[in-house]
Amino acid sequence: MFDKDFFELFNLTPNFFIDEKLLFKNYTELQKAFHPDKQINKSSSERIIALELSSKLNKSYEVLKSPKSRAEYLLFLKDIIVNQEHGNNVEAPFELLEEIMEINENPSSYNINGMKEACLKNFPQFYEQQKYKEAAQELIKLQYLSKIKEE
């Protein structure tokens, strides 16, 4: 189980659109089976493995249940890193940076939530067409927009 990607772990197809009820169902079933509390009578090495697996299940679930994190992870599976905390291997186009600076100056003039929704709509279209650079740019825009506070 440790060598599986997050989608495989929950028996899901790597896709932006997932069955969130199935994700939760598979997550809870795996947690019931492998939760460290259920391994109390096992050897110390088996308990350590259960703890590590439980940790991976938790992290995987948190990533896949969030559309933004799921998009980051889908690109990561294609060796494209778009994560402002850990660095990017895709550059934001200058025009996008200009647009974000403009929005930052006067956020109340923009429908930021609508812009974020548009990014979440555009990302899967680019991703499914294997236009990963464009998908990454939508995600970068979404990340910037998520940090802007609407007034």
> DSSP 3-state assignment of 10?
coil
pLDDT given for residue 84 in this prediction: 61
pLDDT tens across the length of the chain (151 residues): 667 899 999 999 999 999 999 999 999 999 888 777 777 777 888 878 888 888 999 999 999 999 999 999 999 999 999 876 667 778 888 999 999 999 999 998 999 999 999 999 999 999 999 999 999 999 999 999 998 865 4
With beta carbons less than 8 A apart as the criterion, state whether 145 and 137 touch: no
pLDDT given for residue 150 in this prediction: 52
Residue 74 within any structural domain of the chain:
no
Residue 94 within any structural domain of the chain:
yes
Residues 136 and 84 in one domain: yes
Residue 91 within any structural domain of the chain:
yes
- Domain CATH number, residue 47: 1.10.287.110
Specify whether the backbone of 5 is left (phi greater than 0), alpha (psi in -120 to 50) or beta: beta
Residue 1 within any structural domain of the chain:
no
Q: Which of 43, 65, 87 is the last residue of a domain?
A: 65
Note down the domain range covering 129: 79-147
* Cα separation, 102 vs 105, whole angstroms: 5
Residue 86 within any structural domain of the chain:
yes
Residues 87 and 59 in one domain: no
pLDDT given for residue 151 in this prediction: 44
Residues with Cβ within 8 Å of 89's Cβ and at least 6 positions away in sequence, in order, are: 79, 80, 81
* Count of domains forming the chain: 2
